[in-house]
């Protein structure tokens, strides 16, 4: 009897192999899915360690998708949507965001903001109680001894230049504004040592006038988020103002600055603990491991005291200690 041809073998094999379909069920038993459940649980737990974070650099699907290896430019509309979504999520994380300088009135806020240059708000808050106890009004400060003022504000650094500024603005308030802090940016920026950043801090938090506070934290984060590539504070202010309604400007400033101080640090951002990593084009510049990232968190996020000695009632962290406290 002759052997069947290869074609016939294939046909015969197909016919004979039909029972093999019935052998498929044993194959399913050989790979029980339940045995890999622990690994799946670990993966799920790892993902939960970063709320809402994705494993990809952010912005993809938000106007930064890739096509043929090249990044597709984000449209202005997509940028506005992504920027406003970041603001909404930051509003949930920092629902208690506030100015981190202690003050009781516009004059105290103005002086404290000038003193905050090149130092921390914490150091300013530890320094101003003695200063305001000695010189509670513009008239008092304008008539003070420069040497005594220098000694009081020495902990803030650059105390000679700062003494000249705060005594100069106190004299200007006394002589030109009846001892009151003006509520217009045009008047504020004419005071010694007062620029747009300081003016908007005072206007937004003492007078309720919306403004964007473009400090080093704000500028760093909005560039990381690709809201703008500008480095000049005035140009950054204009670019970001174009993305948000005016009513959001003051609180947006607080939220961005809070995030920059607590999570999105300059040298090593805590990407693995960031609640908006899926929206951030710079995701991965810092530590992405969730456990290592948690160790980088500052202030109340890291279980540490905040910057204010007298924080607002809704602040969830600890009050900062006074100067010299152990």
Name the residues annotated as catalytic.
Answer: 197, 215
Q: What is the DSSP letter of 108?
A: H
Burial category of 109 from C-beta neighbours within 10 Å (exposed 0-12, middle 13-18, buried 19 and up): buried
| C-alpha closest to that of 213 among 78, 85, 81, 98 | 98
Q: What is the DSSP letter of 67?
A: E
| C-alpha closest to that of 153 among 105, 112, 183, 198 | 112
What is the maximum alpha-carbon separation in the chain? 124
3-state helix, strand, coil split of the chain in percent (to 5) is 55, 0, 45
Rounded CA separation 6/10 (Å): 6
What contacts 24+ positions apart, CB below 8 Å, involve 78-87? Answer: 79/226, 79/227, 79/243, 80/243, 82/225, 82/279, 83/225, 83/227, 83/240, 83/243, 83/244, 84/243, 84/244, 85/279, 86/225, 86/276, 86/279, 86/280, 87/244, 87/248, 87/252, 87/255
Rounded CA separation 193/202 (Å): 13
């Amino acid at each position: 009897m002759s052997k069947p041809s290869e074609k016939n073998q294939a046909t015969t094999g197909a016919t004979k192999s039909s029972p093999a379909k019935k052998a498929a069920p044993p194959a399913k038993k050989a790979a029980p899915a339940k045995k890999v459940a622990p690994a799946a649980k670990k993966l799920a737990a790892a993902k939960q360690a970063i709320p809402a974070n994705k494993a990809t650099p952010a912005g993809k699907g938000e106007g930064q998708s890739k096509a043929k290896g090249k990044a597709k430019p984000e449209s202005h509309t997509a940028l506005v949507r992504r920027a406003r979504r970041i603001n909404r999520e930051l509003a949930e994380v920092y629902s208690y965001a506030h100015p981190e300088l202690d003050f009781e009135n516009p004059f105290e806020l103005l002086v404290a903001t000038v003193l905050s240059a090149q130092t921390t708000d914490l150091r300013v808050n530890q320094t101003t109680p003695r200063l305001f106890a000695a010189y509670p009004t513009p008239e008092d400060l304008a008539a003070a001894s420069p040497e005594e003022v220098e000694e009081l504000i020495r902990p803030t650094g650059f105390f000679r230049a700062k003494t000249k500024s705060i005594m100069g603005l106190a004299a200007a308030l006394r002589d030109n504004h009846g001892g009151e802090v003006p509520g217009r940016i045009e008047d504020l920026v004419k005071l010694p040592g007062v620029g747009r950043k300081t003016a908007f801090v005072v206007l937004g938090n003492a007078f309720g006038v919306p403004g964007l506070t473009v400090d080093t934290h704000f500028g760093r984060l909005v560039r990381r988020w690709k809201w703008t590539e500008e480095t000049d504070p005035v140009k950054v202010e204009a670019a970001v103002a174009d993305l948000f309604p005016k009513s959001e400007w003051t609180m947006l400033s607080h939220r961005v600055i809070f995030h920059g101080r607590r999570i999105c640090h300059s040298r090593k951002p805590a990407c693995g603990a960031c609640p908006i990593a899926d929206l951030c084009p710079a995701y991965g510049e810092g530590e992405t491991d969730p456990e290592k990232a948690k160790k980088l968190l500052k202030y109340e996020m890291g279980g540490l005291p905040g910057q204010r000695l007298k924080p607002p009632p809704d602040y969830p962290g600890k009050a900062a200690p006074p100067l010299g406290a152990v």
